[in-house]
């Protein structure tokens, strides 16, 4: 009997050890997750033998908050936006991250100086700079082409369905910019009740022409299916459709909405130690540069930029497709993370009410 | 055998009464053990969650306590303000003591990293106040006495009586506020119940839309199912079996598959529009929007719920002897009269069962409207899901769900009064 017990407990110990050798990473799915799998997950598994399970969500902060609130955390790392990282950190849902554990740049510059300003926050580390842009199907506009953010809301000159993100973040800002608010004043306007009303009033003008999307993979699909002629989308998804699938899509950079995506580790993550290891590994100079080979998002480290070269097909130059390319920054809005950390839940509720009404 | 025993005994000498009671008890135990799994199942998966939901809809301690996520230790929050509320009745204007209590609590919130959670709770009641808490907590250390001046100076919204009224209501944990919210109501600064701002009203609209769409879907299902069920009941066996397979096949197919098939058919570049364009009924630029709106919801839900109408109707129509209608005809009734006065009344139990089944299923439908409903085809269940999964306002979700449950129970009661639940036949 004793022998059986020993064998069983030994087996259980082995089982526990085996299950410890994996990591659950929750990200946005589609072309973006693919870029992370190629640039981070595969080399990490090769180096450490730890299996990385990739889990898709429309917006990973939603399962993150739900899992911690329900005290049933299954994910180890979540890829979330900056304002959400600040908000979750404020609410004590995230593990603090010490920037000293991040590897320095190859030339020895410490991580705290190597990351672009704003990319390191108390509980999260940025991997990419990305942006929400609007894009259209060239074949649908043989004559005049949309060129400014106002054209997204102009269904008289550019008739057809619009695919917009089902949520207030970026949608309200774009509505205000289309209504003539300069990028620099958007958040000052949006902080007032009249400004919010103005944004919704602008959205009202195209409400009946909108198809709402939730997952980042949807908007290129809406364009490809001809369900919409213009969509807002994450710039890398449109790039992927153009570069990998040869679609006749065009990105309009006017009024682009820039943000960071960051790794965050929830309180109660089942594999905390390995998650920290993965976080440090995936945010080193080479890994961040590698990711840009797969999708057109800018690396969050200065030292990575020099290493960004060609798309994986070996001929497309990546630099012009990056949100941070000076030519694309003409009328760019940088997400005000404090505004959204404070106002996300109230504007989300208002948005849901507006949408259903 | 001179004297008869006072009590009857069994073969092994026990008194008969005891033995009988024991064997009865054993039977009862066995019967109980047999139903115990079902009983436990119903208790664990049905009664307890519904009880929890009802409790959550009236109790939300987000304002008064926080649980440490690592240790599970519960720390009381906002204790000073709560004490001030207890000492001063409703309607007292906040004085220096109140603001001092608030400032002390804000500093405590900063220490506990709880500004977001507490602000969220007040934000449920007074939209737009989460940021008031998070920003004030961030700068709480800068607050100096006299607080009566420094706190409203830091953020003018602290002087709003609505915020104080909401904090007072939240300080007890128990509240009917979520039911008020679920009915688009709120309280003003004096505690009077008033309707909320027109721009933010949404739930009443969605409840009515849900009921109206469910009623429409039930009616369409009845109109479509009645002839099919009649054919099923009267055709020769070989043909009716084939027809039955056609009814049941979609019934057995996954809900998601059926819903996405409708997406393929109905989208503006989809099969139906393509055929109409090819036939020249509509032009290429005049494609009809049949999805991501109410039409999509009605079409897909009608199709999915149709078997729930066909099957009870069929089970009732099957045993109706065809001789009744023939007798009515031979006595001089027109075919319409024979149908209306002889056939239809006999199918009523099936109509009642089918209608109730379809209506109740439709009222709680979630996945189909979420996929094909667009914005104006959303039902109340989609908003419940929104509050469960995205806004994480579980108390409001619970209140909405309780109202829905209550509404269905009222309908059920009405139905029992009008038609009688005994007259219902499911098969």
Over residues A6-47, the pLDDT tens digits come to: 444 444 444 444 455 899 999 999 899 999 999 999 999 999
Is B201 in Cβ contact with A353 (below 8 Å)?
Answer: yes
pLDDT in tens, A65-89: 889 888 889 999 999 999 899 888 8
- Which of A90, A197, A345 lies closest to B115 in CB terms? A90
Whether residues B153 and B273 fall in one domain = no
**Count of Cβ atoms closer than 10 Å to residue B324 Cβ:** 13
Inter-chain residue contact A354 with B268, CB threshold 8 Å: no
Token pair belonging to A130: 């990305």
Q: How far apart are CA A171 and CA A174, in angstroms?
A: 5
Rounded to whole angstroms, the Cα distance separating B300 from B291 reads 10
pLDDT at residue B191 in the model = 76
Last residue of a domain, one of B144, B176, B200: B200
Number of helices and strands in chain A (H, E): 16, 11
Query: Do residue B379 and residue B419 come from a single domain?
Result: yes
From chain A, the residues in CB contact with B69 under 8 A are 68, 71, 92-93, 267-268
Q: Is residue B387 part of a domain?
A: yes
| Chain B residues touching residue A355 (CB < 8 angstroms) | 375, 378
CA-nearest residue of chain A to B291? A211
Asked if residue B232 and residue B167 are part of one domain, the reply reads: no
Residues B259 and B407 in one domain: yes
Minimum mean pLDDT range among B122-126, B215-219, B373-377: B373-377
Please say which residue of B200, B220, B249 terminates a domain.
B200
pLDDT of residue A94: 92
Bridge partners (DSSP) of residue A165 are A213
> Is the pLDDT reported for residue A2 higher than 50?
no
Q: What pLDDT band is residue B427 in, cutting at 50, 70 and 90? A: low
Q: Are residues B235 and B158 in the same domain?
A: no
Q: What per-residue confidence (pLDDT) applies to B426?
A: 59
ipTM greater than cut 0.90: no
Say whether both B37 and B86 belong to one domain.
no
In percent, the amount of chain B with pLDDT more than 90 equals 37
Q: Give the pLDDT score at B308.
A: 92
Collect all residues from B whose CB is shorter than 8 A from any CB in A: 69-70, 112-117, 120, 123, 127-131, 134-135, 199-202, 205-206, 267-269, 292, 374-375, 378, 382-383, 386, 389-393
Q: Is residue B53 part of a domain?
A: no
Mean pLDDT for all residues in chain A? 89
Query: Would B320 be classed as within a structural domain?
Result: yes
Residue B231 is assigned to a structural domain of this protein: yes
The closest of B167, B383, B150, B131 to A193, measured between CA atoms, is B131
Give a yes or no: residue B132 inside a domain.
Answer: yes
Check whether residue B217 and residue B358 sit in a common domain.
yes
DSSP B217-230: HHHHHHHHHHHHHH
CB nearest A356 (choices: B114, B116, B202): B202
The band of B387, judged by pLDDT with boundaries at 50, 70 and 90, is confident
Write down how long chain A is. Answer: 357
In chain B, DSSP finds a helix count (H) and a strand count (E) of 20, 4
- B419 has a pLDDT exceeding 90: no
Question: A305-311: which pairs have CB atoms within 8 A and are 24 or more residues apart?
Answer: A311/A243
Same domain, B263 and B391: yes
Instruction: From residue A82, give the alpha-carbon distance in Å to each of A28, A85, A125, A289.
Output: 15, 5, 9, 20
Q: Who's near B243: CB < 8 A, 6+ residues apart?
A: B228, B231, B232, B235
Smallest Cβ–Cβ distance between B113 and the set A91, A193, A226 belongs to A91
Searching chain B, which residue's CA lies closest to the CA of residue A86?
B116
How many structural domains compose chain B?
A: 3
Mean pLDDT to the nearest integer, B234-240: 89
Q: Is residue B377 part of a domain?
A: yes
Q: For residues B155 and B28, state if they share a domain.
A: no
CA distance A254 to A133: 8
Q: CB–CB of B256/B366 below 8 Å?
A: no
CA-nearest residue of chain B to A339?
Answer: B131
Reported as a pLDDT band with limits 50, 70 and 90, residue B4 is low
Distance from CA of B377 to the nearest CA of A (A): 8
Q: List the domain range (segments joined by +) for residue B25.
A: 11-43
Q: Could you tell me if B179 and B399 are in contact, meaning their C-beta atoms sit under 8 angstroms apart?
A: yes
Partners of B186 in beta bridges: B194
In a shared domain, residues B314 and B277: yes
User: Which residues does A contribute to its contact with B (CB < 8 Å)?
Assistant: 62, 65-66, 68-69, 71, 87, 90-93, 161, 193, 197, 200, 207, 210-212, 225-227, 267-268, 341-343, 345-346, 348-350, 352-357
Residue B303 lies in a domain: yes
Residue indicated by tokens 């849902």: A93
Give the H or E element holding residue A178: helix A171-178
For residues B153 and B300, state if they share a domain: no
> How high is the pLDDT of residue A44?
95
Strands (E), B96-251: 185-187, 193-195
Confidence band (pLDDT; 50, 70, 90) for B5? low
Interatomic CA distance for residues A55 and B265, integer angstroms: 30
- pLDDT (tens digit per residue) in A92-148: 889 999 999 999 999 888 999 999 888 898 899 999 999 999 999 999 999 899 999
Is B202's CB within 8 Å of A353's CB? yes
Count of CB pairs separated by less than 8 Å, A with B: 90
Look at B425 and B115; give whichever has higher pLDDT. Answer: B115
- B162 and B216 co-located in one domain: no
In this structure, what CATH number is given to the domain that contains residue B373?
Answer: 1.10.3720.10
Among partner residues A69, A346, A357, which is closest to B127 by beta-carbon distance? Answer: A346
The partner residue sitting opposite B389, judged by closest CB among A62, A268, A353, is A62
Position B243 in a domain? yes
């Amino acid at each position: 009997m004793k022998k059986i017990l020993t064998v069983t407990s030994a087996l259980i110990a082995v089982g526990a050890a085996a299950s410890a050798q994996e990591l659950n990473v929750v990200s946005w799915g589609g072309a973006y997750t693919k870029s992370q799998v190629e640039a981070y997950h595969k080399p990490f598994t090769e180096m450490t033998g730890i299996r990385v399970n990739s889990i898709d969500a429309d917006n990973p902060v939603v399962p993150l908050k739900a899992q911690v609130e329900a005290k049933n955390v299954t994910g180890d790392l979540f890829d979330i936006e900056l304002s959400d990282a600040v908000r979750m950190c404020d609410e004590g849902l995230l593990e603090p991250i010490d920037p000293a554990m991040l590897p320095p740049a190859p030339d020895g510059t410490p991580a705290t100086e190597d990351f672009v300003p704003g990319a390191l926050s108390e509980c999260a580390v940025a991997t990419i700079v990305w942006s929400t842009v609007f894009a259209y199907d060239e074949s649908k506009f043989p004559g005049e082409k949309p060129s400014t953010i106002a054209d997204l809301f102009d269904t008289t000159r550019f008739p057809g369905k619009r695919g917009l993100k089902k949520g207030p973040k970026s949608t309200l800002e774009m509505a205000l910019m289309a209504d003539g608010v300069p990028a620099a004043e958007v958040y000052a306007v949006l902080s007032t009740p009249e400004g919010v009303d103005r944004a919704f009033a602008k959205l009202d003008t195209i409400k009946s022409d909108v198809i709402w999307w939730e997952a980042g993979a949807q908007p290129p699909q809406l364009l490809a299916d001809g369900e919409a002629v213009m969509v807002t989308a994450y710039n890398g998804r449109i790039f992927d459709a153009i570069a990998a699938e040869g679609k006749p899509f065009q990105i309009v950079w006017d009024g682009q909405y820039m943000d960071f995506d960051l790794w965050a580790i929830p309180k109660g993550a089942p594999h905390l130690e390995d998650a920290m290891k993965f976080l440090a590994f995936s945010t080193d100079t080479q890994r961040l540069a590698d990711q840009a080979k797969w999708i057109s998002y800018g690396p969050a480290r200065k030292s990575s930029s020099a290493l960004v070269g060609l798309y994986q097909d070996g001929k497309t130059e990546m630099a012009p497709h990056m949100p941070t390319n000076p030519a694309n920054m003409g009328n760019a809005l940088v997400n005000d993370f404090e505004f959204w950390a404070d106002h996300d839940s109230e504007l989300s509720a208002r948005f849901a009410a507006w949408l259903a009404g | 055998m001179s004297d008869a025993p006072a009590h009857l005994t069994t073969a092994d000498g026990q008194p008969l009464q005891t033995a009988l009671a024991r064997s009865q008890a054993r039977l009862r135990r066995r019967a109980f053990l047999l139903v115990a799994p079902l009983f436990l199942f119903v208790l664990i998966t049905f009664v307890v969650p519904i009880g929890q939901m009802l409790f959550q809809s009236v109790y939300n301690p987000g304002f008064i306590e926080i649980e440490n996520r690592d240790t599970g230790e519960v720390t009381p929050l906002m204790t000073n303000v709560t004490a001030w509320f207890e000492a001063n009745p409703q309607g007292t204007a906040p004085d220096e003591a109140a603001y001092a209590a608030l400032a002390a609590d804000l500093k405590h919130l900063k220490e506990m990293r709880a500004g977001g959670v507490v602000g969220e709770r007040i934000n449920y009641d007074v939209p737009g106040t989460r940021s008031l808490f998070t920003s004030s907590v961030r700068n709480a250390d800068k607050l100096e006495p006299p607080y009566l001046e420094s706190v409203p100076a830091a953020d003018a919204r602290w002087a709003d009586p609505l915020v104080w009224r909401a904090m007072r209501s939240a300080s007890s944990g128990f509240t009917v506020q979520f039911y008020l919210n679920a009915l688009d109501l709120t309280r003003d600064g004096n505690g009077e119940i008033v309707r909320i701002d027109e721009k933010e009203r949404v739930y009443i609209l969605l409840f009515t839309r849900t009921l109206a769409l469910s009623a429409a879907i039930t009616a369409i299902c009845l109109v479509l199912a009645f002839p099919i069920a009649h054919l099923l009941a009267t055709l020769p066996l070989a043909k009716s079996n084939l027809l039955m397979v056609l009814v049941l096949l979609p019934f057995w197919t996954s809900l998601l598959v059926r819903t996405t098939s409708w997406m393929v058919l109905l989208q503006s570049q989809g099969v139906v529009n393509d055929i109409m364009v090819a036939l020249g009924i509509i032009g290429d630029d005049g494609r009809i929007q049949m999805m991501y709106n109410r039409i999509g919801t009605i079409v897909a839900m009608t199709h999915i719920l149709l078997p729930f109408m066909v099957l009870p109707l069929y089970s009732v129509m099957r045993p109706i002897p065809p001789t009744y209608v023939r007798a009515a005809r031979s006595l001089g009734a027109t075919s319409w009269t024979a149908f209306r006065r002889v056939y239809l009344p006999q199918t009523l139990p099936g109509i009642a069962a089918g209608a109730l089944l379809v209506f109740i299923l439709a009222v709680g439908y979630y996945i189909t409207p979420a996929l094909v409903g667009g914005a104006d085809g959303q039902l109340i269940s989609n908003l419940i899901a929104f509050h469960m999964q995205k806004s994480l306002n579980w108390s409001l979700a619970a209140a909405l769900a309780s109202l829905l449950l209550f509404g269905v129970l009222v309908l059920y009661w009405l139905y029992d009064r009008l038609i009688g639940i005994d007259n219902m036949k499911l098969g």
